[in-house]
Structure 1
């Protein structure tokens, strides 16, 4: 065989590839002309239209604009056919019984698909989700052709229900014996259903759902108790519910613990709305011995806008008394917030005690409460606020079942506007009001204007370099205040009398201060102040020997008086520590002393305004000022070159902290790291006074009264505050001071105590069951004004039974105060008075569901219990019972209330109240 005939496999493969490339090359056009053979996937082939003859105008436009010509010109001769490309689409016709959303399902046992009947069955703890509907049951059957979902439960070996069908859609939850649900129309039918809609629980033999929002129930029972066997319920034959709107029932009868009560209602309307909405406020029936039969709380709530609402309530009684209340709240975020409350009383009380000749006590009164605050972001540099509490002085007397408000004898109001200019100047204009309900005296101060200039340093350089000079710290300020006040008794109000009592005045003060460098441990601070007062009246008094009394004459006008004072004060701090042995529980006692000494000089610029006044037939005289009794207090008389002195002390003790926490080991505090802790024995105690080195002829008492004070917190629980005023001079048999020190006769008796007081308070409470603190338990409303918060707190205190915290088993608050005063009485005689009282407030749980508590106020001066309030609360799961009792005091009352806890049934209550006014 010749070798040239032999062909290897590699050569055969190479020849084959060359032949294939050659054949493909023959099929390719040199000009790459598009072949008529086209392949498309889900595309549409459209024949190209015939050439379009362009108008001449169009051709001229295309020639002028080369960019458009390049874009739109088409070579019709080279491209006779064209393909219009479209988006790939799959035109598949869906079956009529297909679902419009996927179904998520699961089953513990198995799932069976029956193709001929188009059914899908899930067995054993099945669960299916379709859109916002979730169904769980023992068996779920989905018929795709009918789009019907059927769910069934099962029973265990003892015959008890197991895995009952449960349907959840939105905030509606139902548990039934059987469920039929159409996924297309969202209609359904259930048997033996327990349905929850918001706070309402409904059980019905048959429930029909006709659309996404409307449900009908047959032979139902509805309640707000979430137990299987509810404590109470209302039974009805038919009922309709509209989701998040309203529930309506036909004739219904209540039952308790399954026992029917022979009381029926013709129909029931139960609002299910969430959020604010207008509506009628139902009343409650009341029976009172002194007011008669009545309806209380009848009113209407109106939502006026997103930022404004109003509530109108009223009470009406059979004896003819009534009252009305309008309360409104407005709020706009970052702008302002406030509330307004207007109350009118027309009181008519039966006098059953026989203390009055009249059969009824009648009174007309009113009260206005307004609080407003503007956000600082609304108008930077200015602010406006209002806190108004004004009304008739008798209003609080006739407020029933509120002992705190009954004994509130003083009211005050304030409306203020302030403006600040770059932190240098500020202006405040305000109107103030105060009234004493016992004296029935009302004081109005309007307007009050105050203008302040912050301290200016005239010698300070704009650009400070190095250590500033001492004179650069010289500062000058200004404070001006104008006041205008009128007073009247509301029992004898008249415009003329109010004008006669008008008083006005102004004060001006220019302080000059200088901060000197510290001289070792001593800090020196000199100051000079100039003050000027403007008075609107001058009062002249004289003794009338014929009638043995002091007569007074008032002159109107503008009168001025001025005063100047210079002072130099020095202060320092002295420390002392006593160390104990290292094994002692008390490691050390630390004492800090802060003495102050000042030199004050005041020239006599008031001599012309003071005179001697005889005050009694024994020819006792007193120095009084012509400007005494005005709205602006007069300056002191006489030249004074006094030395002021004072000492303030603190006392601390360091002890071993054997129960320190583990976290204290990582702290940077040296005491905690060393296993010790500080205990303050005295937060502060000391005294201060002054001595006049250059007294005037009329001033024979150079040593001032000595003020003594002390404050401490023992065991971090007991707060103690005490103060006293010591007069170092003697008095005669009439109580008038003599120019002789008490130490002159008795060296152990430094002086007489003219007034003193001591207050001790403490509180104890057990640990809460849930472990939360008071701050965590009480919700904080940032949009509630302080006045509104205070008003709600007072309501909680006056109705403690309605706001009982069962998480705290017991609590106790104690407060004791003792005060002593000695002063000249109306007959210019010394009178001593002692006041002492004890206040106790607490509660404790008799059982986990019973709580009893109360508060009392005992006056040791009169040896009587001024007021005593008690309450009893019962936690009844879905109901609550509260009893408030005030058996002692001027205002006695009794109130018992039983009502559901649910918000939609809060007006369904049993209430019985009595009020006795002595």
Structure 2
């Protein structure tokens, strides 16, 4: 009894006093004492003082203390924390005499292993079968360890931890697959050295795909590991082009400049002397801004010197996209969308294939800054630089820059917080300023012409004074007077040159201005009509809404600005103004007096809903915004043409129909062609039909890159193809979705179909004819969440030929990505096949085989 009492006292002293102090943070544990062993049955967290700090530990089933051997055993759900070390396992044995800890797994009732050890030091996590670790020497021996380093999963049969920064491993498996025990591919090395967060260096290494060894061996390999971006070489890929020879493409260097800015410099070289250079940069700052900047230059040589088809050309393209976060400053905004360069870039580029972009005749760019000054009245300011380039005619229009300023409406006859009602109180005025430096030239002459010869600078001031009021209760009327003043820095003088025997223009630099004013009135109303059907009719009612309006505009003559000049040797004279050709127009030498008529119609129906549980009728749009416009010139006593337009949606809003045209009220006669009065002079019809399965509804993939390049967002002209390594553009790095198949066949396969019909009719002096008629179609389907197929094609009924056709296939191979694109015929025919590893650390492991589009240099 005395002996047992002695050990009870000694155990109590060990648990609650002395150097090793242990106590419960929650409930008092149930304690069982057997000789020198104390068993505490609790899962509460406790701590003891050890070496350099506190050791926190707990277990679900029991914690056993052996004071004689100085061993603590934690069983089931065991946890142990010391400094920055954290260990969780089924069983943990802590030998504080030897400064060692051992952790292992447990077996469940079925004999399966559970509760594998998880050993964490700092940010490095190891998941082995078992581990032995010394707290003093920092060395460890690990069996069947599993760890994740950046994108690499590493599994080793035996690992030895030398210190906090070095591990030596035997029989090492490396992969980026999620399942390290059954990967779709892996590398197997006999030995390796791991420096967590920095690198893995391995000895002789074999590659396995689907557990099948590849017929080659690497004597050694180096895998860089980093949680941050790192600069490095981008290896080129090998290719061949029939007209340019063999090539090394898409090689270069990646610069990780800062956390907010990077740059990739890439290039191509062909054996016939062709080459290209590209710079691609991304930048961004959270809650501030983000953007991309790309510049591309290509020196293209077609065929070989001495051959009759030899040609040489230089093309370039600049793209810049910048977006400012509205949270950074709600009172100002800066944005940029730039797409400029050579007119034939998208037709001839070595690395771009975008049919939508190549068929688009216009490249547009804009850079703008807007701000608001919160005064009374409020002032808005904006500056912009814009560019519009016609790729067919090669005409280029630039505004460098455009200045706009406006002062908010002022109601001079309304007191502060007063009611704006009636003709007088509704009188308001504004001030608008627009300044512009306009440049018009050819793209090839932009940097070769004198600035003064191609630029037009002007300022326009507008002060509109208007009011609105009610007439006869049901009519809304508006009356306005507009004062306009225009400043120019260059004017034109016309005179007859006897030596040239023709009239010539002479431009005079210097300030000049003209001032005009005009009057306008408008009156309109809204008329509602309703037709109700019988009780047994599915159609309950049809509502017709008409919005007729009549407008009148009068501008007096400003003949004080009109001059005359001699047109020929006979002395005949003609009128002109020195402001002709200005960017804001010129004053009229005669008055203008016109009437305008407009009628807008909307037709809606209420029908009984097919869903019997719904009590309210269903609204259906029959015809949306059927509009007629015309006018009458009171001075010339002549009607203008009658234009009409409208649209509707049918088949559950899947089919969009839009139409328009012009009707000439007068007879038209030219040569042998006669068009009767009120004949249809032109018309157009567009129809778009888009359907999708329930799983594909609302998930249509947009051609974002194609739209950025000036093409279309849809895939009717195919998806944009970047002939570089396009994993970043086409692959979506997301968690793998569960396969939707419950068996071999699944009737809910996602799909979508998009069709567009465009028809244009002209009744001109060449006779009645349909000038354009084409049908375009695209279809996409996901046979599985990982198999995606798509096709884009069309038919031109006028030229009787198939339009651009593209067949595409994508396959998500978990750790790998594969795609195939094929344009079987036409000027842009090509095919491309790509397969490669998704992870950036192994992005150089790929096979990329493509043919260049068969293009003709212009």
Which bracket does the TM-score occupy, shorter chain normalised?
0.7 to 0.9
SS class of match (1:495): coil
**Residues 804-837 of structure 1: per-residue CA shift (max 9 Å, x gap):** 798872122222222335668xxxx899772233
TM-aligned CA deviation for residue 628 of structure 1:
6.8
Counterparts of residues 538-577 of structure 1 (less than 5 Å):
553-557=504-508, 564-577=517-530
Q: Which moved more, 1:380-389 or 1:410-419?
A: 380-389
Matched with 1:814 is 755
How many angstroms apart in 2 are the aligned matches of 1:734 and 1:635? 36
SS class of match (1:904): helix
Change (3 A) 1:348 1:236: farther
How many angstroms apart in 2 are the aligned matches of 1:441 and 1:598? 37
Residue in structure 2 matching 1:148, options 68, 81, 100: 100
Counterparts of residues 806-885 of structure 1 (less than 5 Å):
809-821=750-762, 834-847=771-784, 849-885=786-822
TM-aligned CA deviation for residue 911 of structure 1:
0.8
Residue in structure 2 matching 1:246, options 199, 220, 224: 199
Matched with 1:520 is 473
TM-aligned CA deviation for residue 570 of structure 1:
1.5
**Residues 892-914 of structure 1: per-residue CA shift (max 9 Å, x gap):** 22211111223322332111111
Residue in structure 2 matching 1:207, options 127, 152, 159: 159
Note if 1:261 corresponds to 2:214: yes
Is the contact made by 1:503 and 1:537 (CA closer than 8 Å) also made in structure 2? Answer: no
TM-aligned CA deviation for residue 380 of structure 1:
6.9
Matched with 1:436 is 390
SS class of match (2:804): strand
Is the contact made by 1:284 and 1:907 (CA closer than 8 Å) also made in structure 2? Answer: no
SS class of match (2:217): coil
Is the contact made by 1:820 and 1:832 (CA closer than 8 Å) also made in structure 2? Answer: yes
Matched with 1:690 is 631
Change (3 A) 1:876 1:493: closer
Counterparts of residues 75-154 of structure 1 (less than 5 Å):
92=19, 100-106=53-59, 113-121=65-73, 127-131=78-82, 139-153=91-105
Is the contact made by 2:252 and 2:264 (CA closer than 8 Å) also made in structure 1? Answer: yes
Is the contact made by 1:327 and 1:342 (CA closer than 8 Å) also made in structure 2? Answer: yes
Residue in structure 2 matching 1:162, options 102, 107, 113: 113
How many angstroms apart in 1 are the aligned matches of 2:547 and 2:529? 12
Residue in structure 1 matching 2:406, options 436, 442, 452: 452
Note if 1:767 corresponds to 2:719: no
TM-aligned CA deviation for residue 360 of structure 1:
4.6
SS class of match (2:222): strand
Change (3 A) 1:581 1:101: farther
How many angstroms apart in 2 are the aligned matches of 1:540 and 1:736? 38
SS class of match (1:862): coil
Change (3 A) 1:730 1:813: same
Matched with 2:621 is 680
Is the contact made by 2:562 and 2:575 (CA closer than 8 Å) also made in structure 1? Answer: no
How many angstroms apart in 2 are the aligned matches of 1:310 and 1:878? 26
How many angstroms apart in 1 are the aligned matches of 2:592 and 2:458? 26
Is the contact made by 2:184 and 2:815 (CA closer than 8 Å) also made in structure 1? Answer: yes
SS class of match (1:476): strand
Note if 1:911 corresponds to 2:839: no
Matched with 2:540 is 587
SS class of match (1:216): strand
TM-aligned CA deviation for residue 268 of structure 1:
2.5
TM-aligned CA deviation for residue 513 of structure 1:
0.8
Is the contact made by 1:366 and 1:395 (CA closer than 8 Å) also made in structure 2? Answer: yes
Is the contact made by 2:754 and 2:777 (CA closer than 8 Å) also made in structure 1? Answer: yes
How many angstroms apart in 2 are the aligned matches of 1:165 and 1:462? 76
Residue in structure 2 matching 1:218, options 170, 188, 202: 170
Counterparts of residues 62-77 of structure 1 (less than 5 Å):
none
SS class of match (2:177): coil
SS class of match (1:230): coil
How many angstroms apart in 1 are the aligned matches of 2:560 and 2:641? 22
TM-aligned CA deviation for residue 309 of structure 1:
3.1
Is the contact made by 2:435 and 2:459 (CA closer than 8 Å) also made in structure 1? Answer: yes
TM-aligned CA deviation for residue 216 of structure 1:
2.0
Aligned residues: 773
TM-aligned CA deviation for residue 709 of structure 1:
0.9
Change (3 A) 1:204 1:337: closer
Change (3 A) 1:168 1:91: closer
Change (3 A) 1:458 1:195: closer
Matched with 1:479 is 432
Q: Which moved more, 1:200-209 or 1:417-426?
A: 417-426
Note if 1:722 corresponds to 2:722: no
Matched with 1:752 is 680
How many angstroms apart in 1 are the aligned matches of 2:775 and 2:563? 44
How many angstroms apart in 2 are the aligned matches of 1:732 and 1:607? 38
Change (3 A) 1:327 1:449: same
Structure 1 gaps of 5+ residues are 1-88, 615-621, 662-671, 744-749
Matched with 1:578 is 531
TM-aligned CA deviation for residue 506 of structure 1:
4.7
Note if 1:895 corresponds to 2:845: no
Residue in structure 2 matching 1:398, options 349, 356, 359: 349
Is the contact made by 1:606 and 1:638 (CA closer than 8 Å) also made in structure 2? Answer: yes
SS class of match (1:679): strand
SS class of match (2:606): strand
Residue in structure 2 matching 1:326, options 279, 285, 288: 279
SS class of match (1:320): coil
Normalized per residue, the structure richer in strand is 2
TM score, norm. by length of structure 2 = 0.78
TM-aligned CA deviation for residue 280 of structure 1:
3.4
Change (3 A) 1:201 1:476: closer
TM-aligned CA deviation for residue 561 of structure 1:
6.3
Change (3 A) 1:496 1:603: same
Change (3 A) 1:147 1:591: same
How many angstroms apart in 1 are the aligned matches of 2:314 and 2:324? 34
Is the contact made by 2:20 and 2:49 (CA closer than 8 Å) also made in structure 1? Answer: no
Matched with 1:646 is 598
TM score, norm. by length of structure 1 = 0.74
Is the contact made by 1:486 and 1:499 (CA closer than 8 Å) also made in structure 2? Answer: no
TM-aligned CA deviation for residue 724 of structure 1:
1.2
Is the contact made by 2:154 and 2:172 (CA closer than 8 Å) also made in structure 1? Answer: yes
SS class of match (2:523): strand
Change (3 A) 1:854 1:304: same
Normalized per residue, the structure richer in helix is 1
TM-aligned CA deviation for residue 156 of structure 1:
8.4
Matched with 2:649 is 713
Matched with 2:336 is 386
Change (3 A) 1:607 1:862: farther
Residue in structure 1 matching 2:368, options 387, 393, 416: 416
Is the contact made by 2:649 and 2:656 (CA closer than 8 Å) also made in structure 1? Answer: yes
Change (3 A) 1:395 1:909: same
How many angstroms apart in 2 are the aligned matches of 1:685 and 1:897? 50
Q: Which moved more, 1:830-839 or 1:577-586?
A: 830-839
**Residues 40-82 of structure 1: per-residue CA shift (max 9 Å, x gap):** xxxxxxxxxxxxxxxxxxxxxxxxxxxxxxxxxxxxxxxxxxx
SS class of match (2:425): helix
TM-aligned CA deviation for residue 494 of structure 1:
6.3
**Residues 8-30 of structure 1: per-residue CA shift (max 9 Å, x gap):** xxxxxxxxxxxxxxxxxxxxxxx
**Residues 365-404 of structure 1: per-residue CA shift (max 9 Å, x gap):** 2222233455567677555443332222233221435224
SS class of match (1:651): strand
Q: Which moved more, 1:568-577 or 1:505-514?
A: 505-514
TM-aligned CA deviation for residue 243 of structure 1:
2.4
SS class of match (1:253): strand
**Residues 159-218 of structure 1: per-residue CA shift (max 9 Å, x gap):** x76337432426655454442223444432123334443432223221112233432211
Structure 2 gaps of 5+ residues are 1-15, 22-47, 568-573, 741-748
Residue in structure 2 matching 1:703, options 615, 633, 639: 639
Change (3 A) 1:588 1:154: same
SS class of match (1:263): strand
